[in-house]
């Protein structure tokens, strides 16, 4: 992995996130319509397409030799160890109904390992950046999970894939977590939950089979903020997965949340 490539990629991704954020923010609250993408309630708006077009244009211009996979566009035909994952508007359902909870997510993967993540929240103007081995920042200030407060009952974010819907095991686990924690949060914008965990405002995130373009930016954010990510068996999670079932939290709380999930599935 070339450091120069990563440094340039960081600047390009930040610039693209800012400009895409300006586009979606300007159009927020003005939508007349949107399109249904599937039977699971996922939608797409004009803002998704405009933001994606801008981001992909910038990436292709600087890195024509890199692979790209984006939420609406899909994949390009380039084969490379470098892969960009783009969600131009994470939280489109929120955006469409006027709920100001959405973000832009851009991730760079090298050899199936996330190495760069940029998440931008246009409404709050918070820019999160993570580089593998260099930590996580928010608007240039270091972010650490060490500020998380002790809890009697935890605040947990729940993220599930669109296709999961009301799968019996998912419903059972979801209900168990809801009953046995202080709050179980579902924001319709997973990247916002990952940034909340990274800065210590959530205690854990439970992922139930939710692979997508927005997943790995959040994972890198949390890992670089001092967190841990494990699967439901307690094994450390690295790389990428087609069907991730994951727990993310502070390392000292790993056993607690692993037990919570395993009991919920029992």
Q: Which residues are annotated as a binding site for Mg(2+)?
A: 71, 87, 89-90, 214
For residue 110, give the 3-state DSSP assignment: strand
Q: Name the phi and psi angles at 51, rounded to 5.
A: -65, -40
Task: Specify binding-site residues.
Answer: 71, 87, 89-90, 214
For residue 96, give the 3-state DSSP assignment: helix
Return the H-helix or E-strand segment holding 260.
helix 254-265
Measured between alpha carbons, how far is 21 from 214 in angstroms, rounded to an integer?
15
Partners of 208 in beta bridges: 160, 245
Q: Name the phi and psi angles at 190, rounded to 5.
A: -55, -35
Q: Name the phi and psi angles at 128, rounded to 5.
A: -105, 135
CA angle 27, 28, 31 (to 5 degrees): 75
Q: Across the chain, which distance is largest between two alpha carbons, in Å?
A: 51
Measured between alpha carbons, how far is 120 from 102 in angstroms, rounded to an integer?
9
Partners of 135 in beta bridges: 131
Query: Euclidean distance between the first and final Cα of the chain, in Å?
Result: 42
Measured between alpha carbons, how far is 156 from 204 in angstroms, rounded to an integer?
5
Cβ atoms 118, 21 nearer than 8 A? no
């Amino acid at each position: 992995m070339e450091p120069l490539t990563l440094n340039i990629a960081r600047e390009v991704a930040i610039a693209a996130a800012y400009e895409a954020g300006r586009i979606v923010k300007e159009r927020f609250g003005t939508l007349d319509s949107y399109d249904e993408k599937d039977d699971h309630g996922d939608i797409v708006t004009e803002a998704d397409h405009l933001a994606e077009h801008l981001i992909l244009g910038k990436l292709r211009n600087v890195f024509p030799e890199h692979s790209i996979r984006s939420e609406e566009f899909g994949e390009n035909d380039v084969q490379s160890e470098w892969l960009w994952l783009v969600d131009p508007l994470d939280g489109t359902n929120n955006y469409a109904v006027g709920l100001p909870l959405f973000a832009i997510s851009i991730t760079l993967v090298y050899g199936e390992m996330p190495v760069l993540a940029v998440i931008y929240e246009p409404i709050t103007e918070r820019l999160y950046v993570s580089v593998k081995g260099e930590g996580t920042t928010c608007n240039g200030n270091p972010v650490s999970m060490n500020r998380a407060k002790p809890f009697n009952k935890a605040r947990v974010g729940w993220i599930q894939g669109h296709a999961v819907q009301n799968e019996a095991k998912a419903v059972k686990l979801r209900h168990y977590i809801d009953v046995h924690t202080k709050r179980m949060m579902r924001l319709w914008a997973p990247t916002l939950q990952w940034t909340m965990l990274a800065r210590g405002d959530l205690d854990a995130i439970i992922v139930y089979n939710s692979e997508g373009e927005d997943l790995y930016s959040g994972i890198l954010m949390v890992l670089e903020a001092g967190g841990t990510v494990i699967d439901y068996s307690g094994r450390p999670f690295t790389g990428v997965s087609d069907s991730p079932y994951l727990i993310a939290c502070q390392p000292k709380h790993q056993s607690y949340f692993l037990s919570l999930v395993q009991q919920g599935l029992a």
